[in-house]
Structure 1
Amino acid sequence: MLTGLFVLNAAAQEEPRVRARDLGVAPGIFSPGTNNAITDVAGVRVGQVTLRKGDKVRTGVTAILPHPGNAYRSRVPAALHVGNGFGKFIGTTQINELGELESPILLTCTLCVWKAADAMVEWMLAQPDMQEVRSLNVVVGETNDGRLNDIRARPITAAAVRTALESAKSGPVQEGSVGAGTGTTAFGWKAGIGTSSRKLPESLGGWTVGVLVQANFGGVLQVEGAPVGRELDRYAFQNAVAARENTRGLADDRGDGSIIIVIATDAPLSDRNLQRLASRGMMGLGRTGSSASNGSGDYILAFSTAESVRRQFDAVRLQTTELANEQMSAVFQASVDAVEESVYNALFMATTESGNGQTVEAIPLDQVRKILKEHGVEVPVR
């Protein structure tokens, strides 16, 4: 039993946290799915374990399962785009070579990727129909939560990984300071896990695109074009730009950090078109104000859950029906918009967090509302 260690943040917040749409921030033109989450793609499930221990450990695990079956036996086509490769993403060379995913996807902290990978290997090998398996390519991504988390303690355990995998479910996904986002920050504010989705009109195929991000990066925050970072006086290179003393006693923020973006869709896409789809994730990221700095690991993994492109591991031939190139544009648009909104959700839902001797504040939503209104973003009356 995992007692006492895995607890969600119960600290009272003076200001209720809300998702982007509650602030009138709804990027793009397509409507979201039922939960506005990656789990709106049928079959996709998310499980999370949040680890807070003492006053130093603030980290966790987020697991994404592509479908309810055995991911090794029934593989989904997949592709990875690297916007900036300053990071660790286990298992991606084989994805690039074979164009398929044969495990769930785990997200965690930088120095825990190998422990998480080993735990997932053990968990998968213990599953039914896996007794003869001698090779596994598990996929684990990371961002560095070492500001709030005692990352050198490498606190992720096999029990935490198993719990994340076995608790994965469809429906709403918890966001902000949870799971792999427990200790992460973005644009100088507390961030974490964020998710969003888009449902295309039937005339454009009716496909669903879902996104989940682990946000831990920097830059100059903008929301629907409004210069939120500048107006809140928290943005990359601000001390150099303002030619002033650094009142926080820290080195000038250069926008470093990382983000993992996972894009799921039920559109029947080949790994080639999934590569094209993954590359569009950088466009959504750029809208939020990231410049993919030197010290930022920016990775986008995309996969398709469609039965018509599924790959049985022992198949002799593959007969697939996939979406034509000319039908990809709406899927691209949906992914760009969902990535952008996922980042906002990661920020707006995160709560102020203290750990490892530091405190990172949640972005003040009352001030964000004011800035958005001043720049013409319609904010709903609450």
Structure 2
Amino acid sequence: MKLQGFHITRNHKFLLMSHPRSFKRTMTTRARARELGIIPGILSPGPLNAITDVHDVRVGHFTLIEGDDIRTGVTAVLPHGGNLFQEKTPAGLAVGNGFGKMMGSTQLQELGEIETPIILTNTLAVPRAADAILDWTLAQSGNEGVRSINPVVGETNDGVLNNIRRRALTPEMIYQAIAATATGPVSEGSVGAGTGTIAFGWKGGIGTSSRILPANLGGFTVGVLVQSNFGGVLQILGVPVGQKSGRYYLKDKLEPDNTSTSFSNRADGSIMMLVATDAPLSDRNLTRLAWRAMAGLARTGASMSNGSGDYAIAFSTAETVRRTKERRESLCTIAELPNNLMSPLFQAVIEATEEAIYNSLCMATAMTGYQGCHVEALPLDLVMSFMREYQPWRSIASLKAEGR
């Protein structure tokens, strides 16, 4: 739907069901990493390979592209479709490098729970996102007596492609992102909070992935959604794509005569990583789960620099651990997964985070924005040519893609 120069994007995805070897690559064709045969890890994804594979998790985007200088947006995530304030979800937070403006973090850490939608947006839109969350929460039936709310808002700075000082996003637009949340496939790339982001010198964006544990490991689902806007030395399944493409952190110092643009040399920026699971976990073990997202981030070559905000929030959607009014006000017994059964979930988070970041790059499209700045999309044909140089990748990934 288009409204006065901007549009709301509901969840959808574009599938290119092609084998990696027959994929007709052009600079404008985009595909998810798995569709190219880039398959991180050993665990299987869910049917959507998205955070919404976790039951009842909802995602919505609001994308704002206006004139020649506004390139920004909002992504909203609801842990479940009920009253989030009355049925709070246990949650944990991990901070890899804290150069960020993440609202609600201290209460999240103190109480170990989320009571609102989670909003991802740009740095200077955080207060307006909080306004939208307050309006949304106060308007819900059952919240008539609510006087204190802890809005959870994460951000990255999209000020290279977006004229961030204009503060073009309004609380009403952010409210519409919440209203647009839905289960099902999730839009990726240059949408929502990923509209104006840059990662590894290429166009970044929204990415998502999931993993399902086999029944003998509990059968639980883990889903991850990322807003990528950070730098480093990109590697994909260990292949040094950043170095081989000539876009990587510190190139301007190591190769003083290079002509690459400044944003491809830097590692500052941020990433927000949201981890959802249906495993019944305490906030303590959800904090441990959130920390494993950092391992997935590291696999992609992130530098986690001084000027980067690297945040992960993990939450459980299991109804048995939700903090209902009754459970908050009386002694109760809650069955939760013990420490000894956590390791497979750790593996699932690492793999899903890595793939979500790849998806954010593979699905993002080139963009021209503020002051004529142009950021190219990661060229998939070039990436595939690098990957083919590495025979171990080619043999293993090709066999996986063929279902062998």
Q: TM-score, normalised by structure 2?
A: 0.91
> How many angstroms apart in 2 are the aligned matches of 1:138 and 1:15?
38
User: Is 1:371 aligned with 2:378?
Assistant: no
- Contact conserved, 2:2 with 2:8, CA < 8 A, in 1? no
8 A Cα contact 2:201 2:264, kept in partner: no
Q: Does 1:277 align with 2:289?
A: yes
How many residue pairs align between the two structures?
378
Partner of 2:299: 287
Does structure 1 retain, via aligned residues, the 8 Å contact 2:248–2:264? Answer: no
Give the CA deviation at 1:313: 3.5
Specify which of 333, 344, 347 is matched with residue 333 of structure 1: 347
1:195 — aligned with what?
208
Q: Secondary structure of the residue that 1:290 maps to in structure 2?
A: coil
Q: 1:52 aligns with which of 52, 65, 70?
A: 65
Change over 3 Å in CA distance of 1:36–1:310 after alignment to 2: same
1:252 Cα deviation (Å)?
Answer: 7.9
Match of 2:5 in 1: 5
The answer (yes or no) to whether the contact 2:230–2:269 under 8 Å persists in 1 is yes
Partner secondary structure for residue 197 of structure 1: strand
Three-state SS of the structure 2 residue aligned to 1:34 is coil
Matched-pair identity in % = 56
Paired AA for residue 57 in structure 2: V
Counterparts of 2:50 and 2:274, CA distance in 1: 11
What amino acid maps onto 2:288 in structure 1? R
- 1:84 aligned residue: 97
Q: Is the 8 A contact 2:27 2:379 kept in 1?
A: no
Q: Tell whether the 8 Å contact from 2:8 to 2:177 is kept in structure 1 after alignment.
A: no
Q: With the length of structure 1 as denominator, give the TM-score of the two structures.
A: 0.96
8 Å CA contact retained: 2:98, 2:310: yes
**CA offset digits 1:112-152 (Å, max 9, x no partner):** 00111112101211111111110000100000000000000
How far the C-alpha of 1:31 sits from its partner, in A, is 0.4
Q: Counterparts of 1:1-382 in structure 2 under 5 Å? A: 3-7=3-7, 14-242=27-255, 244-248=256-260, 250=262, 253-313=265-325, 315-317=328-330, 318-357=332-371, 358-376=373-391, 377-378=393-394
| CA displacement 1:139-167 (0-9 Å, x = unmatched) | 00000000000000111112211211111
Q: Is the contact between residue 62 and residue 106 of structure 1 (CA under 8 Å) also seen in structure 2?
A: yes
Query: Quick check: 20-29 or 139-148, which moved more?
Result: 20-29
Q: Which of structure 1's runs of 4+ aligned residues deviate more than 3 A? A: 248-252, 379-382
Kindly state the Cα deviation for residue 250 of structure 1 after the two structures are TM-superposed.
3.4
Checking the alignment, whether the CA contact within 8 Å between 1:15 and 1:365 is kept in structure 2 is no
Cα distance in 1 for residues equivalent to 2:59 and 2:292: 23
- Is the contact between residue 8 and residue 61 of structure 2 (CA under 8 Å) also seen in structure 1? no
- One-letter identity of the residue aligned with 1:257: G
Q: Going by fraction, where is helix more abundant, 1 or 2? A: 2
Give the superposition deviation at 1:251: 7.7
1:28-65 per-position Cα deviation (integer Å, ceiling 9, x unaligned): 11100010000000010000010001000000000000
Tell me, in whole angstroms, the C-alpha distance in 2 between the residues paired with 1:123 and 1:102: 12
Give, in whole Å, the separation in 1 of the partners of 2:261 and 2:245.
Answer: 18
Q: 1:370 to 1:14 in 2, by over 3 A?
A: closer
Gaps of 5+ in 1: none
Secondary structure of 1:7 counterpart: strand
Q: Could you give the per-residue CA deviations for residues 242-262 of structure 1, whole angstroms, max 9, x where no partner exists?
A: 2x2242463882311100000
Task: Kindly indicate whether the alpha-carbon contact (under 8 Å) linking 2:201 and 2:263 is maintained by their aligned counterparts in 1.
Answer: no
